[in-house]
Amino acid sequence: MPSRCQSAVLAVIVAATLTPSAAVGQNAPAPQPFRPGLGDLMTMLVQPRHLKVGLAGMERNWDYAGHAVHELEESLEKVAKTVPKWRDMDIAGLIEGSTKAPIEALEEAVKAKNIARFNEAYTQLTAACNACHQSTKVGMIVIQAPKSSPFANQDFRPTKP
């Protein structure tokens, strides 16, 4: 059992530890809303979604491929809405104009479970990514079909035979 005196000392120490220092509170900057830019959205949303569509095709995982194509489409729509203009360029219009047709072709290929058509549509999509990078003067950003999966914690093989 701690003595009364020891308990009192302990209480003072605990109170001192829990009381936030006034100086820290005053100097801390106010939290800012997270506003990702075009390059952030491309890296966070579009790049991994494009990759996962490719992996779904490699595994002939049609159930997952349908899901992955839809997610990629939504990511591109979010980019168009969040950054419609960039350096005076019509990003929303370019996204719609360049990626709509290959995404539709991918959807058709997935429905038909046709790997030849899927691969052709995926090549067109990847070419559309690169064509837009060229026309927005970031042609040094070159997208390609993935050769292997960087997602070690996700299994892309079909769950049903």
Question: CA-CA distances (angstroms) from residue 73 to 54, 107, 161?
Answer: 14, 10, 27
Region of 5-13, 24-32, 38-46, 60-68 interacting with ligand HEC (CB under 6 A): 38-46
Tokens read off for 91: 């990003």
Among 91, 105, 109, 110, binds ligand HEC (CB under 6 A): 91
**Which residue blocks in the chain are alpha helix, DSSP H?**
4-18, 22-27, 38-41, 47-58, 62-82, 91-112, 115-135
Q: Shortest gap between Cβ of 39 and ligand HEC (angstroms)?
A: 3
Q: How far apart are CA 125 and CA 131, in angstroms?
A: 10
Region of 10-18, 35-43, 59-67, 111-119 interacting with ligand HEC (CB under 6 A): 35-43
For ligand HEC, the binding residues (CB under 6 A) are 37-39, 42-43, 46-47, 50, 86, 91, 94-95, 98-99, 125, 129, 132-133, 136, 138, 141, 143
